Amino acid sequence: MQTVDVLVVGAGLAGLHTSRLLAQRELNVMVVDSRRSLSTGIRTTGIFVRRTLDDFDLPDHLLGPGVRDVLLYPPSRRAPIRLTSDRDEYRVADMPAIYEHALRAAESAGARVLLGVRYVDVSMGFVRFAGAEPVMARFIVGADGARSRVARDLGLDVNRRLLVGAEIVHPIASGTTTPAFHCVLDPRVAPGYLGWVIDDGQHAHVGVAGYPDAMRTGIRPLLDAFAADAPGRGAPAGPVERRGGPIPVGGVLRRLACPAGLLVGDAAGAVSPLTAGGLDPCLRMSELAAAVTAGYLRTGDQRVLRRYDGGALRTRFRGRLLLRRVFAGIRSPAAVEAAVTLLRSRPGRALASRILFGDGSFPDVNLRLDRFSER
């Protein structure tokens, strides 16, 4: 039976980024994912915010044009609020290509990536799979999504506050749309969140998300109804792809690590509670996770694991968690219309701009762990 230093379960952006960083630290890393192709089962629109684009080396040719305008629509969809930044705030990525790029980077660093292999369970370092022989792992990283099986097996915290999202993605004719992020606040189609339209210059992304208990007809009929006349949507110029999945919005989980492993990405609740953006947090927390993992495996000192403390991070989310609860409780179209009216005021526009264009969607992560990883 083969033994690995670290087994990473899940080959999404968090899992692949973590595995690359660990392999670069000369650890024996294996990554498994139940998907046979990373172009299937995508659960993100692929919107990267300016802060991520500034801080991480993402392949420019896989990113769409910069988006500076956000239009906020009330349920009536009349007279949207236009907010304009003087900088490119968003770019939409070709996510299948981004995953492939991340996979190649992880493999180039020395990680072994096995697709079509489903994680079953782990006990005392003995990991079982469906589709491959078991392995012994010194440490396991759960990057297996919002409903993480690894989290349950390791006795770590699990996500309990979840939105469900779905979108359609289709090609559009080049030059037929102006880069903009259209956001529709309507609890009838997206209770507790919003409907959106954005494109990467080649593909339109049209989606909705909300609390599943308030979606009486299910999310697919709501998405189809929204997409029928969604503002800013370009006409389909090719086949339509459907994406969807759960989105954790309860904030970073408190108990993220134990001597047997830790959690990253959606499994860790590393998603902005208010905006539900997860790509920036997954990259930032993956860097901390890799430093902690390497330091712990090289020293055997469990105190290193305390640096990966979800409780400490949660204290920096209090305002966003409060706004999330307020947002979740607004289920009346009339109340949303009134809220949008408030956003038209100067203080309201300043607040909306701060949320949509500010640098505080996810707090910085302390990476001062060199003394552990260098031992």
pLDDT value for 366: 58
- Measured over the CA atoms of residue 168, residue 199, residue 273 and residue 289, the dihedral's sign is positive
pLDDT value at 327 more than 90:
no
Percentage above 70 pLDDT, the chain:
95
Q: Residue 360: which pLDDT band, with cuts at 50, 70 and 90?
A: low
**pLDDT tens-digit profile of 96-137?**
999 999 999 999 999 999 999 999 999 999 999 998 999 999
Backbone angles phi, psi at 234, to 5 degrees: -80, 155
Under the banding of pLDDT at 50, 70 and 90, the label for residue 363 is low
* Residue 157 pLDDT greater than 80, yes or no: yes
Contacts of 235 (CB under 8 A, 6+ apart): 172, 173, 176
pLDDT at residue 300, rounded to an integer: 95
Mean pLDDT computed over every residue of the chain: 92
**Which residues does 229 contact at the CB level (< 8 Å), separation at least 6?**
none
Strand 162-171 to strand 241-248: parallel, antiparallel, or no bridges (unpaired)? antiparallel
In which residue are the tokens 């493999």 written? 107
Kindly tell me if the per-residue pLDDT of 326 is higher than 90: no
What is the DSSP-derived secondary structure letter of residue 98? H
The pLDDT value given to residue 201: 82
Instruction: Specify the range with the lowest mean pLDDT, choosing from 26-30, 93-97, 200-204.
Output: 200-204
**What is the rounded CA–CA span in Å between residue 230 and residue 219?**
16
Q: What is the mean pLDDT of residues 268-285?
A: 91
